[in-house]
Structures are given as structure tokens and as C-alpha cells.
Amino acid sequence: MPNLTKHPEAYIEQGKTIGIIGGGQLGQMMAFSAKAAGMKVIILDPTPQCPAAQAADDQIVAPYADVAAIKELARRADVLTYEFENVDLQALKDVADQVAIPQGTNLLYTTKNRIREKTFLRDAGLQTAPFAAVKNRADLNAAVEKLGYPCVLKTCEGGYDGHGQIVLKSAQDLDDPITEEVLQYGDDILEGWVPFKMECSVMVARNTDGDITVFPVSENIHAHEILHLSIVPARMPVEWQQRAQQMAEKIAEAIDLKGILGVEMFVGADGQLYVNELAPRPHNSGHYTIEACNFSQFAVHNRAICNWPLPKIKLMSPVVMVNVLGQHVAGTRRLIHEYPQWHFHDYGKAESRHNRKMGHVTILTDDIEATLKQIKDSHVWDDE
């Protein structure tokens, strides 16, 4: 092969196999995209016929941390990736000499733990909420003294969609049973409250050659701690958006990113940007890219881990993405008949539950406010 990249040994060509740890919707959309590019895909997930397996060539049915199963995946794949952050790091290290794992384990190690993540961000010169490590009640009292009310106590690991955290508004909340529960966890973070005007996120990707590409900024609206809407372009000045993108690029360089990374931020009223969280994988707030951009976040992630050159991303149309949780499935299916222009995604999960992410709808639009009104007037998301 001609030497087309700085790291030809890292180049994974069409026809090779991507192994994905985790078989949910992120793995499914990675698999759809990989298949379109002519790759083969094997999923490791304990649930037979999980969403990603429905789009893949094969599945190894086993728990994520099953060392023998990870070894089998490594043996059968040319490159390994994952769709969530709770991957067994030791298991990945154990197979690192058998299969390419371009994302490595450093990024996962850093982003798995909120203290390590925020410390990395601070050291890289990025603004975050003020924070302190909390291991027990004495630490909590000292941290509250320093950061003041309101503040947020979060477990360092394992929290998602608002689980494992509590907002402390006054000294009374120190005695809340949830505070006690979070403290019992033993490895927590207290964050000062950021009075944000908006939440946003940026997807950024980098390959082994060091090419970087960045997606448009998504404005994110949550309901009950779960992403409800993503709106692109975010309704903030272009200069703020550019700064958010530059911050994402800076993080990608600082962490020697390979693959895609979601950067969640708070936007202050004065345009100050605070990095809240990093997701070392495709992200729910990037689903809009499938229809609204020239390349989707999944296509770009696959290109990055295969060390293909990365495209410059263009937004082809303003867009609104709305999540479909268990309680929205029936209503959304009725909307299929009303809105032929809307893209209805369903992840094919066997069981629908309240607040479980079952699908999403992507709406390309010339009028974001009118589209938001259509969503509201449909009454499908009235619980939000």
C-alpha cells in the first residue's frame, strides 16, 4: 500500500472487522454506518438480538466484563471500540497486543471518574464548575463551606441521567436520605452551582494521524435529567459557538484523542463556557448529525478509529432532534402519519419502559421555533 498516512499500520481498510463492546443504540448506529462503508461488525453484549446486533454481522452473547468473551472479540476483530464508558479497562489492556484499540485506555480512565475528568480539564486550562473531592461527611461539610449553596453532590463514577446526584440548596439538604446514599458511595465530588443560561455540547473527533474535525454546537434541553431536545444551530451568538468548538479541539489535543468525544458544556448569560462532562464515544446530542450533516458522528467515529482522513463537517440544514422515551412510543408512531418530512428512528429494543430511550425523531427545518411548536402541539411529550 502506498504510504498515504503517517501511521499506515493503524489504517483499517474496507472489509475489515470492527468489534464493539456494548450493544445499545449507539453501537447500533455505529454498526449501520460501518456496514454502509463496507466494514464487518461484531457486537459483544449479554442480550441476544440487542439493538446493535440487529445491525451487525455477528454477536458474542456474554457480559461486558467476561474476559474470555473480550478475548474472542479481540481475536475476531481488526479494531476494537466501545459504545459506553463502563468498559473493563484491565480486560482491554489484556487484549491490547492482539487487536488495534486506537482509543486506548487513558481517555476512558480519565472520563470514568468525575474528579479525574475535572482535574484534567482544569490542568488543560479549561473552565469547569468549582469542585472538591468528597469521601465522607467531614469532607462534605468542608466543601460546602468553601463552595456555598446551591451546590451539587455527585458520585464520581457510575452516575447517568441524573442518577447518583443531589442538588443541595441549603443545610437542610445535608440530611436528605439521597445525600446519605451518595455519601455511602464513598468517592464523590461536590460542584459549585453554575447559573447557566443554556446547556450545549460539541462532538469532536481525531484520528491516529492527528487530523481533527469538529461538529456544530448543539443546544440541549433536558427534562427530568434526560436529554429531551437538541437544537442546531444552538441559539447563541456565532462567536460563542466558535469558542465552544475551539475548546473541544483543545480537549481533543490535550487528551490525545483517537475516535470521537462528546463535550458537554454550560453556557453562562455572559457567554462564559464551563465544561461539565466528557463522553468518550458518540453521544445522544449528536444524533442530529445523521440527517443534518454531510457526515454523521458515527461515520466520523468509525473513520477516526480506522485512521481514515477526517472530513470537514458541514451542517446541511438547521435541525431539531427529539428523544423518544418509553412513554412517547405510541404517540410518536401516530405522528408518522402526520409528518412525512420527519425522520423516525426506533432502536428495536425488546422491552419499552418509562424513561428508557427507545428512539428519536430528527426534523430538518427552516424554522426552528415553528418546529418546536409542532413538537409541543403534538402533546406526545407533554410529560416533559
Which residue ranges make up the site for ligand AMP (CB under 6 A)? 129, 152, 159, 162, 191, 193-194, 199, 222, 225, 276-277
Min dist CB 309 to ligand AMP, Å, is 33
Min dist CB 111 to ligand AMP, Å, is 12
Min dist CB 156 to ligand AMP, Å, is 11
Q: Which is nearer to ligand AMP, 53 or 194 (CB)?
A: 194
Min dist CB 188 to ligand AMP, Å, is 12
Q: Which is nearer to ligand AMP, 111 or 213 (CB)?
A: 111
Contact between residue 272 and residue 244 where contact means Cβ atoms under 8 Å apart: no
Q: Which is nearer to ligand AMP, 42 or 108 (CB)?
A: 108
- Show Cβ contacts of residue 381 under 8 Å, excluding neighbours closer than 6 positions: 223, 228, 322, 328, 331, 375
- At residue 249, φ and ψ (nearest 5 deg) are -65, -40
- At residue 59, φ and ψ (nearest 5 deg) are -135, 140
Min dist CB 22 to ligand AMP, Å, is 19
Q: Which is nearer to ligand AMP, 142 or 330 (CB)?
A: 142
Q: Which is nearer to ligand AMP, 159 or 359 (CB)?
A: 159
Q: Which amino acid is at 331?
A: G
Closest CA to 288 of 315, 321, 318, 332: 321
Distance of CA 92 to the CA centre of its chain: 20
Contact between residue 81 and residue 26 where contact means Cβ atoms under 8 Å apart: no
Contact between residue 140 and residue 184 where contact means Cβ atoms under 8 Å apart: no
How far is residue 278's CA from residue 258's CA, in Å, rounded to a whole number? 14
Min dist CB 349 to ligand AMP, Å, is 23
Min dist CB 175 to ligand AMP, Å, is 21
Calculate the alpha carbon distances from 21 to 84, 111, 129, 192, 273 in Å: 8, 17, 32, 34, 32
C-alpha distance across the termini of the chain, in Å: 54
Q: Which is nearer to ligand AMP, 178 or 329 (CB)?
A: 178
- Show Cβ contacts of residue 351 under 8 Å, excluding neighbours closer than 6 positions: none
Indicate the annotated binding residues for ATP. Answer: 114, 154, 159-165, 191-194, 199, 222, 276-277
Q: Which is nearer to ligand AMP, 63 or 158 (CB)?
A: 158
- Show Cβ contacts of residue 247 under 8 Å, excluding neighbours closer than 6 positions: 126, 202, 263, 265, 273, 275
Indicate the annotated binding residues. Answer: 114, 154, 159-165, 191-194, 199, 222, 276-277
Tally the residues of the chain. 384
